[in-house]
Amino acid sequence: MKRNFAQFFISFFLLPFLIQAQGMEEKPPNILFILVDDLGYQDLGFTGSRFYGTPHIDQLASEGMVFTNAYAASPICSPSRAAIMTGKYPARLNLTDYIPGNRHHGPHPHQKLASHPFKLFLDPKETTMAEAFRSEGYATFFAGKWHLGESEIHYPENHGFEVNVGGNHTGHPAGGYFSPYNNPQLPDGLEGEYLTDRLTTETISFISEKRDAPFFAFLFFYTVHLPLQGKAEKVKKYEEKRRSMEYDEPAFVRQNGTYYKNHQDNPDYAAMVESLDENIGRLLQALAKSGQDKNTLLVFTSDNGGMASSNIAEQIPTSNAPLRTGKGYLYEGGIRVPLIFHLPGTIPEGSSCDVPVTGTDLYPTLLEMAGLPLLHKQHRDGHSLMPLIGGKNMKRRPLFWYYPHYSGGLGGRPSASVREGNYKLIYFFESKKSELYDLLKDREENSDISDALPKTAGRLSKKLNQWIKDMQVKLPFPNPSYQPEVK
């Protein structure tokens, strides 16, 4: 980790005491949480992209703390979002696939396994992060993609958000990225208005209001999820850039009917990423203009890895290379995500942390950074990252994933995984076999070392099996209508 210890110690630990000594009351920080849909770890300039332009996000990263081993709690959107909102693993919530999953169609006859039903909503019994902050006097706001319940009783306004702009049951923009939006929770703008711009404008309007209470604002962008729709002038810009790029490998490889993208070259997706970046710049500018930039904790992350595979090559928007595969898989490309914490004067500029962290950790971290009481029974699967942000060590613990489903056209198979230290084990329910990787030496997950390190594989398998038992999940079972493909 790189840190300016003196700056951090003065700003984070001594400043509150100095303020109290002067007879002043410290103002609680505002929270602005930005979640991007399907943004891959490699989709940003500071993480290694050569094709996409993200100067504002790169600046955000350079001015805050970057977690280089941050993970989503699921390789799919709805479970990952539920984990962020509750501080619990998707397995514990029994919300393990996107809503509604394949429930309406049943298991495909070519799939060996079937999965048990899972919850189609975020349980109202959970105390969400928004409810926790609202109970402590924060003004709460939500804009963008919710995708945590099929009926209105499970929408953001019934989970602690006073304002809901655009959040409902849909997992992608029903009317596309240009107005009219076909979204009952978002009035149409002028014809051709861009959804990413509009959601940012609504958020800026909220955070710029004068109020006594601090704000807790969630901006969950629909972008960069399909459909691939960028602004025409930006698409043209990246079409020209693509012509100037040289690649050593073919655009796709194909395995068992699934295409995997080798490099980033899609102009429409690049245009969407650039629009996202421009709007991060607008948010930073609005915070500075309203004088709230130094008292607003901004968190930036993604809900899962980038979509890098499909049974239809033309639908694949990005590549997570050198990370393996993408959305819908428990390989690194499917679950590793960018994570930035930004709070000027408190979090040292240019700092980074390589400790593995996951989506369930965000709930207790934000509470503690806001000086609010922790809710241990609620966010029981999350650990506050305050020690890491403060330049201290934190007790290492294993991280777990459980995805007992097929990821549709993406090609992923039912699996579970554990990471402890540098080692990561993935268990596949179809084959009943495990793969082991040393991520320090092999982040590409090219070399399965389970045979070379049987004791390590056995130890991690035992931990994963015990965790699965603790979660009380129902394992995948043989598909009664299974019919092997004839090749």
Q: What is the pLDDT of residue 205?
A: 98
User: Can you give the pTM of this predicted structure?
Assistant: 0.94
E strands, 303-338, where? 309-310
What are the tens digits of pLDDT across the range 34-56?
Answer: 999 999 999 999 999 999 999 99
Secondary structure of residue 258 in the 3-state scheme: strand
Q: With respect to residue 427, please indicate whether it lies within any of the assigned structural domains.
A: no
Q: How confident is the model at residue 306 (pLDDT cuts 50, 70, 90)?
A: very high
Helices vs strands, H then E, count in the chain: 13, 19
Give Cβ neighbours of residue 46 (< 8 Å, ≥ 6 apart): 54, 57, 58, 61, 62, 66
Q: With respect to residue 405, please indicate whether it lies within any of the assigned structural domains.
A: no
Q: How confident is the model at residue 110 (pLDDT cuts 50, 70, 90)?
A: confident
User: What is the average pLDDT value for the chain, to the nearest integer?
Assistant: 94
What are the tens digits of pLDDT across the range 334-367?
Answer: 999 999 999 999 999 999 999 999 999 999 999 9
Is the confidence at residue 4, as pLDDT, over 70?
Answer: no
Q: With respect to residue 136, please indicate whether it lies within any of the assigned structural domains.
A: yes
Q: What is the pLDDT of residue 20?
A: 39
Q: With respect to residue 50, please indicate whether it lies within any of the assigned structural domains.
A: yes
**Rounded CA separation 403/38 (Å):** 17
Q: How confident is the model at residue 487 (pLDDT cuts 50, 70, 90)?
A: low
What are the tens digits of pLDDT across the range 46-86?
Answer: 999 999 999 999 999 999 999 999 999 999 999 999 999 99
Least confident window among 96-100, 402-406, 480-484: 480-484
Give phi and psi for 395, each to the nearest 5: -60, 125
Q: What is the pLDDT of residue 15?
A: 40
The torsion of the CA quartet 240, 244, 248, 252, rounded to 10 degrees, works out to 10
The distance of Cα 31 from the centroid of its chain, to the nearest Å, equals 17
Contact 33, 217 (CB under 8 A): yes
**Rounded CA separation 106/109 (Å):** 9
**Rounded CA separation 127/125 (Å):** 7
What are the tens digits of pLDDT across the range 408-442?
Answer: 899 999 999 999 999 999 999 999 999 999 999 99
Contact 463, 427 (CB under 8 A): no
Q: With respect to residue 388, please indicate whether it lies within any of the assigned structural domains.
A: yes
Q: With respect to residue 2, please indicate whether it lies within any of the assigned structural domains.
A: no
Q: How confident is the model at residue 22 (pLDDT cuts 50, 70, 90)?
A: very low
Length in residues, the chain: 487
**Rounded CA separation 428/269 (Å):** 31
Q: With respect to residue 92, please indicate whether it lies within any of the assigned structural domains.
A: yes
- Residue 242: CB atoms within 10 A of its CB come to 15
Q: What is the pLDDT of residue 281?
A: 98
**Rounded CA separation 81/30 (Å):** 21
The torsion of the CA quartet 367, 371, 376, 379, rounded to 10 degrees, works out to 0
In this structure, what CATH number is given to the domain that contains residue 193? 3.40.720.10
Give the domain extent around 380. Answer: 28-393
Q: With respect to residue 287, please indicate whether it lies within any of the assigned structural domains.
A: yes
Q: How many domains does the chain have?
A: 1
